Amino acid sequence: MVVYLDVLFGVNALMDYTTLLAAARLGGVSVKRRRLLGAAAVGGTYSAAAMLFPALALAPLRILSGIGLCAAAFAGQRAFARLCALYFVVAASFAGLAAALGAASGRQLLTGAGYYAAVPLRVLVLAAAAGYAVSGIFLRGDALHGPVRREVETLRICFGGKACELRVLHDTGNGLFEPVSGKPVVVMDRAAAVELLGEAGRPLRDGTMAASEALARLPPRLAGRFGLLPYRAVGTESGLLLYFRPDSVYRADGKPLDCVCAVGPDQIGQGAYDGLIGV
């Protein structure tokens, strides 16, 4: 079979972009498109190089190249390891379905260097769509919650000149509102809150400190932006959460969210997400 390097590059860059985008969506993170495009271009270049130098197509090097693509696309994300795992799951789904569809059509779709469009483009598109659907049945929105989709979105929270991106799960059990204003409450992972709050977060580093004591230890110039929020949870008859009024909160689409933020337990979501928000 005659293989054209430009076609090989283009097809694999397209499939790598699709795979990385699917991993990001399934992981509930927001990634800039230019990072995905850059990583996809690296993947296309690797496939072309592997055609010229077959040793690059050996399994260990293919795994390393996959990790490199994830680093190019997802470096800096809190759940980087999980995103890598999602990438490989989606990539395996795509490749398996592409091989099956290629065999059914009697044409070759996969080479040692990656995908090659030796079949009609609609077959390639069908393989990608089917792979996304199959992996999404189990992983969409939050890979740790099985087939039931629980939406995760990314918020950008700003406070005191600092900003962080927080992945929050839409939780039907979170009905918290600020008592005075009635604003909804975003419950943050304690570590994420401490990092965002800077000086104001120092009293929170001790996870055993009561919310009321942490409030009393805040610097006077910042204390007016904080308060105490009563709550109830499974296993807790009643309690208090320390909350604060952020400078701004934006959704992934750029729309502002008028809310307050509360400091939650040491870890929320076991790395799958970093906070909770009501539906």
Q: How confident is the model at residue 105 (pLDDT cuts 50, 70, 90)?
A: low
Q: Indicate if the pLDDT at residue 203 is higher than 80.
A: no
User: 235 versus 218: which is more confidently predicted?
Assistant: 218
What would the two tokens of residue 135 be?
A: 């992996």
* DSSP 8-state code for residue 4: -
Q: Can you give the pLDDT at residue 201?
A: 82
Q: Can you give the pLDDT at residue 124?
A: 56
What would the two tokens of residue 25 be?
A: 């969506």
CA 141 – CA 111 distance, rounded (Å):
32
User: 95 versus 248: which is more confidently predicted?
Assistant: 248
Q: Indicate if the pLDDT at residue 47 is higher than 80.
A: yes
* Mean pLDDT of the 178-199 span: 89
Estimate the share of the chain in helix, then strand, then coil, as percent rounded to the nearest 5: 50, 20, 30
Which tens digits make up the pLDDT trace of 114-164? 655 555 556 556 655 665 565 554 444 444 444 334 578 889 999 989 999
Q: How many percent of the chain have pLDDT more than 90?
A: 20
User: 1 versus 157: which is more confidently predicted?
Assistant: 157
Q: Indicate if the pLDDT at residue 81 is higher than 80.
A: yes
In the chain, the DSSP E strands lie at 110-111, 114-115, 152-159, 162-171, 185-188, 226-233, 236-244, 248-251, 260-263, 275-278
Which tens digits make up the pLDDT trace of 19-42? 898 888 777 677 888 899 999 999
Q: What is the CA radius of gyration of the chain?
A: 23
User: 217 versus 232: which is more confidently predicted?
Assistant: 217
Q: Within 13 Å, how many C-alpha atoms sit on residue 90's CB side?
A: 30
Q: Can you give the pLDDT at residue 274?
A: 86
CA 166 – CA 158 distance, rounded (Å):
11
CB contact set of 136 (below 8 Å; sequence gap of 6+)? 22, 26
Q: Can you give the pLDDT at residue 279?
A: 59
Asked if residues 268 and 275 have their Cβ atoms less than 8 Å apart, the reply is yes
Q: How confident is the model at residue 59 (pLDDT cuts 50, 70, 90)?
A: confident
Q: Can you give the pLDDT at residue 234?
A: 60
pTM: 0.51
CA 245 – CA 254 distance, rounded (Å):
19
Of 31-45, 96-110, 256-270, which has the strongest mean pLDDT? 31-45
